[in-house]
Amino acid sequence: MLIVMKAGATAQDVEEVVRVVSEMGLRAHPLPGASRTAIGITGNTGPVDSVRFESLRGVAEAIRVTKPYKLISLDLKPEKTVVRVGDATIGGDELAIIAGPCAVESREQTFAVAEAVRRSGARFFRGGAFKPRTSPYAFQGLGEEGLQILAEVRERYGLKIVTEAMDERGADLVEQYADVLQIGARNMQNFSLLRRAGRSRLPVLLKRGLSAMLDEWLLAAEYVMAEGNYNVVLCERGVRTFAQHTRNTLDLAAVPAVRRLSHLPVLVDPSHGTGKNYMVTPLARAGVAVGADGLIIEVHDHPERALSDGPQALTLEQYEHLVAEVRAIHEVIAPAPVS
């Protein structure tokens, strides 16, 4: 059930609906929009009786939701969500660029990359302290020490920190040090982690699973939102196919497909989406051209020495060129409003 309030409904009117929903043992999710507030109702397993709401003051209509998701949907919120991270945004007019190494390896390496990321004008710095590696013998990340280095980067350069938590304990730590909590492709359906992220005060960056269909990905976002965290950013990072010329197949059609269903911002990650240095820039251009709200780019000061994902890491110089190119494309497809 979705309750649409009238344009002139007051905060008290919304509160009253929330109260009635709670009284029914259900959960209300008021999401204010540009012209009206809509209230999503979750917790019901069968249909909710709309008559109870239609007579309440300020209610325009109560609509039955037939789709499997409610809160991520454009039905609830027709205008795009802008996720605010301090003074930076994802999903607004600005193209969000999240760049940095795959893994935080050392203070020197992290600072060398962060300096270039800062110089490029990007607002977000990425780097994994907890790395989900295919082999248990591969570099697993520096853990909390890595998070401390990331916190120093934030302090020094004012960049917002995006970093992955692989489990609930990791989420507790990431919350202490970072600005955005990343849930990786391998954990897209780790439902207890999704619920934990839903109780976080941090925005959540949710990567698409390696073989996730669109509905599965959106329902994973729904898990986070159903717990009350409405700041979710989706990220297309490629899926498994028969292709052998890339590490993953970057599904750029996912961007307009998400757009048609959801108000959530969507990013493209051409680094994991291709796995190859020479393909990252062309696919980054394409990602912006197809309408992504931003990009995640892996960058390393010495890609040949990287402890993880070296083959897809851009050099600092390549990264600088990429940013100039994608900004130019973004300017063409989404010109900045004249102020």
132: partner contacted, choices ligand PEP, Mn ion, none (Cβ within 5-8 A by kind): ligand PEP
Cβ 118 to ligand PEP shortest distance, Å? 20
- Amino acid found at 68: P
Tell me the Ramachandran region of residue 291: left when phi exceeds 0, alpha when psi lies from -120 to 50, beta otherwise. left
Q: Find the binder of ligand PEP among 40, 128, 198, 270 (CB under 6 A).
A: 128
Provide the residue type at 57 as one letter: R
Beta bridge partners of 234: 206, 266
Binding mask 22-61 for ligand PEP (x = CB under 6 A): ----------------------------------------
Is 309 near Mn ion (CB under 5 A)? yes
CB of 81 to ligand PEP, least distance (A): 21
Dist CA 79 CA 63 (whole Å): 18
300 interacts with ligand PEP by CB under 6 A: no
Q: Which residue, 73 or 190, is less far from ligand PEP as judged by CB? A: 190
Closest to Mn ion by CB, 50 or 315: 315
Rounded Cα distance, 41 and 173, in Å: 31
**Considering beta carbons, is residue 75 or 309 the nearer one to ligand PEP?**
309
DSSP lists the bridge partners of residue 91 as none
Question: How many of the chain's residues bind ligand PEP (CB under 6 A)?
Answer: 9
3-class state of residue 4 by DSSP: strand
Hey, what are 50's tokens? 């709309």
* Other Cβ atoms closer than 10 A to 8: 9
Question: Using CA atoms, how far apart are residues 106 and 319, in angstroms rounded to an integer?
Answer: 20
Q: Using the rule CB under 6 A, which residue among 272, 285, 300, 330 binds ligand PEP? A: 272
Strand partners, 83: 90
Q: Does 207 bind ligand PEP (CB under 6 A)?
A: yes
Instruction: Check binding of 102 to Mn ion (CB under 5 A).
Output: yes
Options 4, 48, 59, 102; binder of ligand PEP; rule CB under 6 A: 102
| CB 312, CB 280: distance < 8 Å | yes
Does residue number 185 form part of the binding site for ligand PEP (CB under 6 A)? yes
Measured over the CA atoms of residue 191, residue 196, residue 201 and residue 202, the dihedral's sign is: negative
Q: How far apart are CA 184 and CA 102, in angstroms?
A: 12
Per CB under 6 A, which region of 142-150, 180-188, 257-265, 317-325 contacts ligand PEP?
180-188
132 binds ligand PEP (CB under 6 A): yes
Instruction: State how far the Cα of 125 lies from the Cα of 109, in Å rounded to an integer.
Output: 13
Which one of the spans 100-108, 157-165, 166-174, 275-283 is the region binding Mn ion (CB under 5 A)? 100-108
Question: What residues line the site for Mn ion (CB under 5 A)?
Answer: 102, 309
Task: Point out which residues bind ligand PEP (CB under 6 A).
Answer: 102, 128, 132, 184-186, 207, 237, 272
